[in-house]
Amino acid sequence: MRDRTLINLIVFGAILLLVLNLPLPVAGRLKALTRDTLAPLQKAVSGFSRQARESLKLLRGVGGLIEENRKQAEEVARLRIRVGDLQALEAENLQLRELLRFRQKEARALMACEVVGRDVSGWWSMLRLDKGARDGLQPDLAVITAEGLIGRITNVSARTSDVLLISDPNCRISAFVERSGAFGIVSGCGPAAQGLPVCRMEFIDKSRKNPVAEGDEVVTSGLGGVFSQGLPIGKLEHVHTNASGLYLEADVVLRADLGALDNVFIVADRVQPPPRSPEDEGP
Amino acid sequence: MTQLVLIFALLTGVVLQAVLPPTWAWLGAAPAPILLGIVLYVALAHSQLRMLGCALAAGLLQDALGQIPLGYSSFGFCLAGLAAHRFQDEVFEHAGVTHAVFGAAAGGLVTLSLYGLLGKDGSIGLSPVWAVKKIAGAALLGALVTPVECWLLARLELRLGSRPQEER
């Protein structure tokens, strides 16, 4: 009995050591294979839980539906007027650009994705999306919602991709304050308790003529080559000088709600057409 | 417990763990330790061989669906499983209190071991304060989730006619 226990421990210890020392590409392939195998199941379960949540919300909010409908109709009317104004401005802008012979900016291409899961371990602020390399996705693409930037793609398997959220301390973004033009670095503060910041902007130049202030909008700077310029991130709060006294620091209140993400968009400017191989053209 | 039931439990566990939203920040956003609960059930009610197999598979599944390097969670699960299995004959293995105590201790232990391993690698940027919150959160969630899981798995085994006591 004692011998059997010892043999078990030695065998499993050896297997564990083997797994821990797997070369990175092999471990990566194994992970991708597991993700792809479980992706349909994960999508089905997350779809079911979303349906259940929405049904519950519907049941709870039956009384407020008329009021909500009225508000939505108002919002639609307001947005239609705004779109009309913007179309006129766009036409004028195009005309002026043509006169000045500026290169035309293309509208951002977006790819809609469904959130099918989150980081299982809880050590990272991550999301898993239902699209992957088969759809042309690759690491370092920006992920946004209608409100603003939420993160970037880090890992891609054939059917899924992982998004590192901007609230994660490992996510650092070059950004600038729209009003003053001051540059800085936005980094995550980890999962925040109520009242604590989710992100912080550091290394903001304090010697500018037009200093940054609370409420200023922060957008991506386009430097660093990962995010395109002008993706909205959030607003500044609690602007203060950092410990060294050389730069300003501020909390960033994100525009997007990272806790309630069901559908997101990938800024697909750099999306490659999915590779075609004979194996892909299966039944 | 047939291998098929174990595979079903592990797959359901990992998918649930991935789909469930993160918990509150005061718990360090620790996820509900569903896979760990399954390992503990097997450790308390089944043979050591089966427990080690379950711990290895559960850890690999957790690592494959997350960012943790392959094998780290298996190491933590095997440690927790071996510790629980060591006390198998000295506790009431089907009592809710036993599962809650083991769930809390194992949740804390596994989270601590992962923090050590990931911190050594430099792959996480969380402060020690967050780690303490996460360890406490994992312990609390372990105490809450493990008894429920053990009850469900015991019911499932009973329905399928498998008797865990006979396996020892």
Q: Do A27 and B130 touch (CB under 8 A)?
A: no
CA distance A224 to chain B (A): 21
What is the predicted pLDDT for the residue at B144?
Answer: 94
pLDDT band at B61 (very low <50, low <70, confident <90, very high): very high
Residue A263 is assigned to a structural domain of this protein: no
- Report the number of distinct structural domains present in chain A: 3
Residue A74 is assigned to a structural domain of this protein: yes
**Residue A195 per-residue DSSP state:** T
Are A91 and A31 in the same domain? no
More confident residue, A172 or A211: A172
Q: Using CA atoms, how far apart are residues B51 and A22, in angstroms rounded to an integer? A: 23
Beta-carbon contacts of A178 under 8 Å, excluding residues fewer than 6 positions away, are A216, A217, A218, A219
Q: Using CA atoms, how far apart are residues A182 and A179, in angstroms rounded to an integer? A: 8
CB contact residues (below 8 A), chain B span 81-110, against chain A: none
Token output for A227: 């995010």
For the stretch A215-229, pLDDT in tens is 899 999 888 778 888
Are A181 and A233 in the same domain? yes
Residue A245 is assigned to a structural domain of this protein: yes
Residue of A123, A153, A257 to mutate for B, most B C-beta atoms under 10 A: A123
Q: Using CA atoms, how far apart are residues B52 and A171, in angstroms rounded to an integer? A: 36
Interface contact B140, partner A, CB < 8 A: no
Token output for A24: 């990175």
Interface contact B67, partner A, CB < 8 A: yes
Quick one: average pLDDT of B10-18? 89
More confident residue, B107 or A224: B107
What is the predicted pLDDT for the residue at A74?
Answer: 85
A274 pLDDT higher than 70:
no
Quick one: average pLDDT of B93-120? 89
Quick one: average pLDDT of A169-183? 87
Are A30 and A99 in the same domain? no
For the stretch A82-94, pLDDT in tens is 888 888 888 888 8
Amino acid found at A9? L
- Pair A232, A267: CB distance under 8 Å: no
Are A33 and A78 in the same domain? no
What is the predicted pLDDT for the residue at A105?
Answer: 56
Residue of A16, A120, A153, A155 to mutate for B, most B C-beta atoms under 10 A: A120
What is the predicted pLDDT for the residue at A282?
Answer: 42
Residue-number span of the structural domain to which A40 is assigned: 2-60
* B62 to chain A: closest CA residue: A120
Helices (H) and strands (E) in chain B, counts: 6, 0
pLDDT band at B90 (very low <50, low <70, confident <90, very high): confident
Contacts of A19 in chain B (CB under 8 A): 56, 60, 70-71, 74
Q: Helices marked H in A101-225 — which ranges?
A: none
What is the predicted pLDDT for the residue at A102?
Answer: 61
ipTM: 0.79
For the stretch B117-154, pLDDT in tens is 888 887 776 678 888 888 999 999 999 999 999 999 98
Residue A48 is assigned to a structural domain of this protein: yes
What is the predicted pLDDT for the residue at B1?
Answer: 60
Q: Which CATH architecture has domain B3-167?
A: Orthogonal Bundle (1.10)
Q: Do B22 and A122 touch (CB under 8 A)?
A: yes
CA distance B125 to chain A (A): 6
Beta-carbon contacts of A1 under 8 Å, excluding residues fewer than 6 positions away, are none
